[in-house]
Structure 1
Amino acid sequence: MSFNSLGLSDALLKAVSKQGYETPSPIQQKAIPAVLEGRDVLASAQTGTGKTAGFTLPLLHILLQKQTSHKRPIRALILTPTRELAAQVYENVKSYSEFTDLRSLVIFGGVNQKPQVASLNRGVDILVATPGRLLDLQNQGVISLKQIEILVLDEADRMLDMGFLRDIERIMALMPAKRQNLLFSATFSKDIKKLANGILRKPVLVEATPENSTVDAITQKVYRVAKGKKTDLIIKLILDGNWNQVLVFTRTKHGANKLCKKMISSGITAAAIHGNKSQGARTKALAGFKSSKISVLVATDIAARGLDIPLLPHVINFELPNVSEDYVHRIGRTGRAGASGEAISLVSADETTFLRDIEKLLGERIPVTILEGFEPDPNASTKPIKQGQGRNQQRSSKKGTSNSRKSIDNTSRKSNRSNDSRSNNRRPKSRRD
């Protein structure tokens, strides 16, 4: 199948060709025809599967068929959980609409709102937004959603994890009841299915890959190591391997900062990205990493969600996540577009339960290696990390999973909330955008 067979306009096909794409990915093959038919869509797709084009291309095609000449109202809204993802989706929208006269804009917190307001006043067809800044500007009377034709919820599972449900409900109430709805999520959890039932009308179900499956091209490896030797081990692996593009995950902002400083003192160019970093610092760190000026990017789960880094060869879990699904999200940053990738996890005794849960989810055992001089502590307890230790919570039951996810980098969310919100004091205290 080629893009030419999907029924897209010539202007969009020209943009796709310019990007160097010839064959649509599985998610695009399934989602694009359904969206073009005007159907609501519930899609399960990991980041890196081509899902953004899966909703962007047909969305643009539909808007092109019914263009208006007067002042442009917002006709399509794409909601994302994080600033980084919003920026990346917007870049895709701009690229694919290059040969049309459709106007698009991205808005998110942490930056001056004046340029965003000026663009809105000039008229925008497609708006990409995080919930917080969208509601802030709507409360100021700057944004109207009364003529929305298409709503896209991207990475809906993460939006729920981050506490955006109430915001989503408020935003939905501001739009026409009659509209097309597209919901994209990495997993089909009970919460996602409940959300979908309240939003979608007779949706087409699209699954690009089996739920929570890992990419075959990714080589997974576990290093069993004493907790106090993790920093020395990760520095050794990076230096000995001469790795120049490594994404490292930690559980907390404090841990990310501490590890980053240790790496820099060892001669490794590194930067940390998390919620306490300003938007400018985060953007600069990501740009430096993509251009290989920075070899190692140390990130928390929330800050790294949605990062699109082509051909990333190495992902290292400095600490395992206490929610198994997050492991899949992490390692899915590598092994994309047919390229091989390596996912390494440094596992101490108190993370044994987390490792078993991950292997149970994957349905396979991950090979274990022990390096001389970095052996695990035979006397260390294998009892999982408890609440209050490492600023984290133990995943103790299915009921506690959602709360555990929200606890990760919670301080980060509070910090960013103060930057993102200028006037809306009614937003729930657990949110971040």
Structure 2
Amino acid sequence: MRGRGRSTRPVTVFATETRGLATNVAAFPRAEILVEERSATPTTIGRHFSDRKFADAPISNQSKAGLKHEFLSDVQAATLDLALAGKDLLVQAKTGTGKTIAFLLPAIERLLKAPANIRQGVSILVLSPTRELALQIQKEAETLLTHHTFSVQHAIGGTNQKTELKRLINAPCDILIATPGRLLDHLRSSSLSNGLSELKTIVYDEADRLLDQGFKPALDAISGFLPPRHTRQALLFSATVSKEIKAVAAGALRPGYSFVSTLLEDEINTHEHVEQTYIITPQANFISTAVSIIQQDMLAHPGSSKCMVFFPTARQVGFAQELLSQLDGLPPILEIHSRKSQPARIKASDAFKVAKSAVLLSSDVAARGMDFPGVTLVLQVGLPANSDQYIHRLGRTARAGAAGRGILVLSSAENFFLNNPGMRDIPITSAPAPPPYSMALSLENVARETKEQVYRAWLGYYNGHSRAMGMRSKEEFVQAALEYAVEALGWPKGELPPSLEPKTVGKMGLKGVKGLNIQRRVVAPRNGGGGEDGAAGSGA
């Protein structure tokens, strides 16, 4: 590498030929590859590089010209020859270690060697758990294909399905990057399956995330539209290898597939070695405490503080963005969540990725599978849905040898979360709350409608946790919601709570509970009869 001396160290790689899935990674025979030792304190996310050069790899000159690095990463070195030989692979590798090239490169090389007369329709299918990751994979594919004649397209949710289908049918598509839900929509409602009849390689990227997001039924259904398993190669990549992943592998991969893990011992469970603390403070102080923590990270990392701040709901993310964007002295404030448009999410994601210092506010869906370099702090504000969500969010930092830490901010009613089974063995310690930043003036500038939306989202999210939070009745829960609106959101004290429609109250199971402001929306008559749009009703 230019301007950097190379030293090498052994990395444990597990690889085996297996007819079923091995149940114990530790039982796999070990092989060593030498990897580049980068600076102990990298300014951006580190990568593990092997001593093998792309120039010496058995790949085409077209592909070599499209590659950005001189050396293969460890996951690329461990899988390239197996994949080029047509083996089905289960690969355990983290985001940010070069795994995208690890599956794209051999798939493209095998396509290049296939007779031109059988290159019809989609030859390579990559399934991704999120739209953002799908578009990120497409970008890498386009770079790799710079000197090839192959084309790549995407099929993702959040876009016009008919327009997308027209593009897929009319434009060349050798490589298709898709989210399972949208692909299945196309397969069921169009003749797109005909374009997959000559499929040569299928890739399941971030397979653990695919399962976490409930895509298992969609994956099974998609398989029914594809050529028989024995006619195509399958590559399955996952950061974790659970029994559920093993079950997917057993159904998706051909017998005799290989399992490869390039994770170092301290990378297998990031949550076991990343510095983690929790802070107990009233929900009214959540945002102000978050600001103080961000400021502390800025002092610890002058000019290079990159913070990811997670909230339970998309509405809370929007609320935090309105507040933090008013404050001076903070890095750029970005937001990415399910209520933002796809172009806005891509823009924010790309901006955070290249920023030297920034704050990304997010709901859980936003950052899954995304590779954000140099994240110095993961701050989780409010109750995570479960320990898996907590662990996955934490995994956004301390990637591939880089430093990082995690902080969890809870209210006293939420601290039951720390005693949940999945959290008991996690090395998280208590820390005092920093002095909260004064937010009174900023709260006054937040739109009333925003506060109403956050209140409703709070009710919807915490309703299922009210008993665990020590609330003995729904009335007590509703009262807690009002206190949250007044103290945390700046809702005027003494006013009725923000309004809820009857159907919303019914869905929450709060019908008949005192303390709610139920308003039935009235639609104005079309031909002017004396009504007007508005709401009618009274507090319950």
TM over 0.5: yes
1:257 paired with 2:308, answer no
CA distance in 1, matches of 2:341, 2:59: 39
The corresponding residue for 1:248 is 309
Equivalent in the alignment of 1:48: 96
Displacement after TM superposition at 1:234 (Å): 0.7
Q: Which amino acid counterpart does residue 112 of structure 2 have in structure 1? A: L
1:128 aligned partner, one-letter code: I
Alignment pair present for 1:164 and 2:215: yes
* Alpha carbons of structure 1 residues 185 and 372: separation in structure 2 relative to 1, 3 Å: closer
Residues 1:204 and 2:253 are matched in the alignment: no
In the aligned structure 1, how far is the partner of 2:281 from the partner of 2:367? 25
- Superposition deviation, residue 387 in structure 1: 11
Cα distance change, pair 86–333 in 1 and its aligned pair in 2 (3 A) = same
1:288–1:25 distance in 2 versus 1, CA, 3 Å:
closer
- Kindly indicate whether residue 279 of structure 2 is the aligned counterpart of residue 223 of structure 1: yes
SS at match of 1:248: strand
Write the mapping of 1:22-421 to structure 2, written as runs, cut at 5 A. Answer: 22-68=70-116, 72-113=120-161, 114=163, 117-138=166-187, 139-143=189-193, 144-177=195-228, 178-201=231-254, 202-209=256-263, 212-214=268-270, 218-242=274-298, 245-267=306-328, 268=330, 269-292=332-355, 295-319=358-382, 321-356=384-419, 357=421, 360-362=424-426, 365-371=427-433, 373=435, 390=462
Contact 1:271–1:298, Cα closer than 8 Å, also in 2: yes
**Residue type of the alignment partner of 1:208:** T
CA distance in 2, matches of 1:187, 1:44: 6
Distance 1:217 1:102, change over 3 A: farther
Question: Cα 1:119–1:304, aligned 2, differ >3 Å: closer, same or farther?
Answer: same
Output the amino acid matched with 1:124. Answer: C
> Structure 2 vs 1, CA of residues 321 and 262 (structure 1 numbering), >3 Å: closer, same or farther?
same
Unmatched runs of 5 consecutive residues or more in structure 1? 375-385, 397-410, 412-433
| Unmatched segments (≥5 aa) in structure 2 | 1-50, 299-303, 437-457, 469-503, 505-540
Asked which structure has the greater RCO (Cα within 8 Å, sep 6+), the reply is 1
Structure showing the higher strand proportion among its residues: 2
TM-score of the aligned structures, taking structure 1 as reference length: 0.78
Match of 1:10 in 2: 61
**Deviation sequence 1:204-248 (CA, Å, 0-9, x none):** 112222585118995433334333322111112223543753211
Match of 2:224, as an amino acid? Answer: A
**Structural RMSD (CA):** 3.1
- Once the two structures are overlaid, the 10-residue window that deviates more, 327-336 or 169-178, is 327-336
SS class of match (2:324) = helix
Instruction: Work out the CA distance in 2 between the residues paired with 1:348 and 1:6.
Output: 55
Contact 1:41–1:200 (CA under 8 A) maintained in structure 2: yes
Aligned length: 381
Question: Based on CA coordinates, which of the two structures has the bigger radius of gyration?
Answer: 2
Residue 208 to residue 225, structure 1, CA distance change in 2 (3 Å): farther
Deviations 1:373-404 (A, max 9, x none): 46xxxxxxxxxxx99652666999xxxxxxxx
Judging changes above 3 Å, is the alpha-carbon distance between structure 1 residues 29 and 217 closer, same or farther for their aligned structure 2 residues?
farther
Q: 1:368 to 1:103 in 2, by over 3 A?
A: same
Find the aligned partners of 2:209 and 2:62 in 1 and give their Cα distance.
33
Query: 2:9 matched to which residue of 1?
Result: none
Whole-Å separation in 1 of the counterparts to 2:74 and 2:383: 30
Q: Give the counterpart letter for 2:239 in structure 1.
A: A
Give percent identity, aligned residues only: 33
Relative to structure 1, the CA distance from residue 235 to residue 323 in structure 2 (aligned partners, 3 Å threshold; closer, same or farther) is same
Q: d(CA) in 1 for partners of 2:403 and 2:147?
A: 34
Counterpart AA for 1:254:
R
- Distance in 2, matches of 1:50 and 1:186, equals 13
With over 3 angstroms needed to count, the CA separation of the structure-2 counterparts of 1:329 and 1:33, relative to structure 1, is: farther
